[in-house]
Chains A and B, each alone.
Chain A
Amino acid sequence: MNTSASHGFVNQLLVYTLVMIGFSGSIGLGAVWMRHQISITANVNRVLDARIAEVERHLAEATTAAETERDASVLLRRNAEWRLGLVPPSQTQIVHVGADPVLRLAAKRNRGLFGDGPATVSLPVAYQR
């Protein structure tokens, strides 16, 4: 039996085994590190998702509160409470010219032409129907 040859083989086997264990250990450690990084990234994403959802919830709450304050009845109440005195435009504030505005402007211009009063309109009026 050639013991020296078998010892040499075993020695080599041990060395290679150790190298392989070291190599595969490194790969294993790398894989673990990678999985850890994946886990960290996934958790960061989860936290960010939760944060976005939280911001959206607060946004929805703020929007609802703002819209409630924009309600016409609330604005009218605030107008009274803060004595702003704001009023919606009403018909009585507006003077309607019943006649055709072209005729009215022409008549104003013509008053000056015929010497029955000072002309109040000096610009030529063009009216295209």
Chain B
Amino acid sequence: MSKGFASSYRIVLLAAGVIACFGALGVRLVFLHVIDREDLIGSIERARRQIIPETARRGDILDARGNILATSRSLIVLGVDPQVLRKEDEAKWPELAQLIDMPYGQLARIFTTKTRRADSAAENEDASKLTIFSPTPAPDATQAANQKSDDTELDEAVDENGERAIRWAKLSESVTESTYAKIQALGIKGVYGNRVYRRAYPHKTLAAHVVGYVNKEGAAAAGIEAYADFYLRGRDGWREGERDGKGREVAQFRTREVPAADGYSVVLSIDAAVQHMVDEELDYIGQKFKPKKATIIVSDPQTGFILGLGNYPTFDLNSYNRVPRDQQAVMRNIAVADQYEPGSTFKIVAASAALNEGLVTPASRFDCSLTSIEYKGRVRGLPAEDHRFHEPLTVAQIISKSSNRGAAQLAMLMGEQKFYDYARAFGFGELSGFPVGGEIRGDLAPPEKWDGLTITRMPMGHAIAATPLQMHMAMSVVASGGLLLRPQVIRQVRDANGEVVYRYGTISKRRVITEQTARTMCQLLQSVTVEGTGKDAAILNYEVAGKTGTTQKIVDGRYSNRHHVASFVGFFPASRPQVAISVIVDDADASVAGGTAYGSSVAAPSFKHLGEQLIQYLDIKPVYSPATGGNLVMGGNRR
């Protein structure tokens, strides 16, 4: 066997060297992996580990035809770290100021302010906490707090002068992607932005009270935004991994990852075109009559879905936080959050109930010239009339001519309890179930709390308070064939791929009157626009059914002769109702000739104008009477 090159001495030396090296390596490994393990892992974790949150994109709110009413768009909150600014970049500051639309002086002041007193920073942090815990901070208060607290980030270390270094000062919170690309191209060191999704409302004031808004903290504060927040908000994701020496994510070392799930989209029954017509009409009413407030509701009476709902005054959803504190009433959804005495429009309850109970027919006559009447052994004073009726009126005439005394006598025929039951059945005194706007119940007292005059006053819409939507849905009972439907505004919920996740259908709460009674009421209400108080709501060639209302407002505890709520609530075509419209105008008296804002002169023309536009847009066909065939010479296949 070959002896080889190695001598015994060399072999021992080599072996000893190798063993020593391995031994040293082993000792070092023991130190690294056993003795110093915790410290080393801790420092590595601190230096390299990171959890990166992934923000889910909030879903869109769409109208019935797919128009986007609310969406999320990426904006950049731009800021600067004044500590790392370079002298040579100063020449670029004016251009930056121009790009973000900020006065140069203000920008230069932010850039050159390097520190802030530590105690003032602490105060600002407190202010910030207060803002966060406030459930609905006042917009201007929020703004002020944000000015103080969210604009800067300070270093934790306090210097010898009691000041902390500013590490980030906000320059703008709404820089678009394209503008940010230009800013990055400037290459100013220390100027950088953080991407955030912010809510945008492309149609501004359109359906503002229904859509609602998301506040600057990202919390859904009102409207569908708040009601459907569970669907809209999605689920934020995150990933855990490591970063390199420059702070960049080392993608191959991701250990855990939970992807963000974007929010669902909500499709409303609101139609942007119908809503625009509603808003235009409200603008017209606002300009012409200068009312205190007004509301218009348009719905499909067969399904209960709302096609348009607008209030006057209104506000721009994109600048909800700029509404002055003393004008925040504009953000109330008057249609559901305010109540009023419905006045003569409420007469449909007494008439429908009496007809439904079989107590009267449309031809039954009542003496409406009486000023008092005996009821349950006591003489009750009847309410005053706007017109003098010398001859007894039929039930049809009581409706068309809006007789207060006639309505009172109809209610008396039924008695308090029965009349109250019908009023409840029509949906008064209970929540309609409309999902947004902070709906109130209205005010319908039970019979045991009525005084002696209530049975004569409530049938004409006094001694009761209802929301405009309650009155609208009550009229829709007649239009729908006797069913009280739940007013709805959400049609579908769709996932991020556009697949329908949930579809909302018609919800019938109860049957209030029979179909036959509803048909009869349709005919009676049609006469209102043909020969009654609502002639100004009539639309040529269309059967319009409806009821006017003029309610005296209670001012200082008394019914005022100078402040009224004018309303017209109706639907068409009467024999096959396709659309129900309510127009309610509060306190338009000052701008009306004669000083009294009647429903017939203020609300009815708006109903007509809106109805004419809806006929075009929704392609509503006139309904013709069945052909008599008497003069039809041509034969054919007719039945």
Contact = CB atoms under 8 A, between A and B. Distances in A.
B4 interface: yes
Interface in B586-639: 612-613, 615-616, 622, 624-627, 631-634, 636-639
Q: Is the interface of B mostly helix, strand, loop or mixed?
A: loop
B120 to A, nearest CB: 36
Contacts of A45: 251
Contacts of A42: 251-252, 254
A68 interface: yes
A90 B612 contact: yes
Contacts of A124: 636
B418 interface: no
A103 B632 CA distance: 6
Contacts of B73: 57, 60-61, 63-64
A53 B8 CA distance: 69
Interface in B216-251: 249-251
B252 A38 contact: yes
Contacts of B68: 63-64, 67
Contacts of A67: 67-68, 71, 202-203
A110 B615 CA distance: 32
Interface in A28-54: 35, 38-39, 41-43, 45-46, 54
B200 interface: yes
A99 B178 CA distance: 61
Interface of A is mostly: helix
A100 interface: yes
A71 B539 CA distance: 28
Given A71-B202, A71-B204, A88-B613, A129 B639 contact: yes
Interface in B523-552: 539-541
B148 interface: no
* Range class of the B interface residue count: 35 or more
A123 B412 CA distance: 60
Interface residues of A, number: 51
Contacts of B273: 72
A11 B636 contact: no
A8 B616 contact: no
A85 interface: no
A35 B253 CA distance: 11
Nearest to B636: A126
Contacts of B204: 71, 73
Contact of B634 (A89, A90, A98, A110): A110
Contacts of B206: 71-72
B176 interface: yes
A87 to B, nearest CB: 11
Contacts of A91: 539-540, 612, 615-616
A77 interface: no
B8 to A, nearest CB: 7
A84 interface: no
A89 B633 contact: no
A39 B410 CA distance: 85
Interface in A68-103: 68, 70-73, 88-91, 96, 98-103
B272 interface: yes
Interface of B: 1-4, 6, 8, 11, 57, 67-68, 71-74, 176-178, 195, 200, 202-204, 206, 249-252, 254, 272-273, 276, 539-541, 612-613, 615-616, 622, 624-627, 631-634, 636-639
Given A57-B74, A100-B627, 8 more contacts: A7-B2, A8-B2, A39-B251, A61-B177, A64-B68, A96-B541, A103-B631, A126-B636
9 contacts: A57-B73, A58-B177, A61-B177, A67-B202, A70-B67, A72-B272, A91-B612, A103-B627, A110-B633
